[in-house]
Structure 1
Amino acid sequence: MGKEYIFNRPGGAKSLGVYQFYEEPGKPTFTAYDVEIDCAKNRVRITGAQDFRSVFNKLRNAKYSSQWQSKPDTWLAQSRDFLCKPVDRQVRKMERLGVMPASQIAKAGPQLFQILNREAAKAAIMQKIDGGFAQMSAK
């Protein structure tokens, strides 16, 4: 999401696009959501959703609830926090993707999963090394 694509809405909410990528077979490549976020009231809602399947290179309407959510799913809460808590972005390793067409986003998705998987593996290895050093110093 880019700052130039965040729009102010009546009542203090902001509107922006959020993309959720999938790795599972049978799922779309990603779902593009139109999201409204109200930082002052700590709530979020979806105002539109479309699935993109790279096989068909086409967007299709997806199901969603348009109700304001005070306890949203994790991915939606992270989107709210990205917008409402900009200071936490770097600590939580949150990055904006920038502006790109759907086909380019579909190509970038698998690369993002590879990067995340490498980071998770690296963290697990470092945790084992730290645990080994902790055991050595305890003896």
Structure 2
Amino acid sequence: MDTIFQSKKFLNLLNISLLFYLAICEINIFNKRLHANTKPQASQQDVFLYKQMGASYLCKSINDKIDFDFNKALAVSTYTFAEVIFSKHGNLIQEAGKEKLTPEKVLYIGEIEILNSAIKICPKQIPNDVKKSFQETLKKLKKQTNKKR
């Protein structure tokens, strides 16, 4: 019977010391924010890297040696760009502010960014009608941007 009494004392001391330790270390589960699900916004450097990778893939896939269909190669490049933005950055791009972009917007941004880079990297491999359409899209975007200001 004497040992039962001593083991209860020991457990009480253990509980007190555990509570003391938690209080000193300021561990408070209810006030801590969980950061496991937060994803950083894609910075300008991130977007630059992803668009350059997409443009590189596009240029390499439509060259004479591989001879992929341009539209399919552009689609693969664009969806790869968008998938990285979705999975790594949770549809957040720094330049868009705190707005969580829709998948359609990310795909649109990706296509424009990749085409812009591809036209600079491998202009001879980009079809003329695509270049012309791209220039018209840029003009429309500039007009929209100027109207917002």
Shorter-chain-normalised TM-score: which range? Answer: under 0.3
Which one scores higher on RCO, CA 8 angstroms, separation ≥ 6? 2
Hey, which of these two has a bigger chunk of helix by percent?
2
| Larger of the two Rg values belongs to structure | 2
Hey, which of these two has a bigger chunk of strand by percent?
1
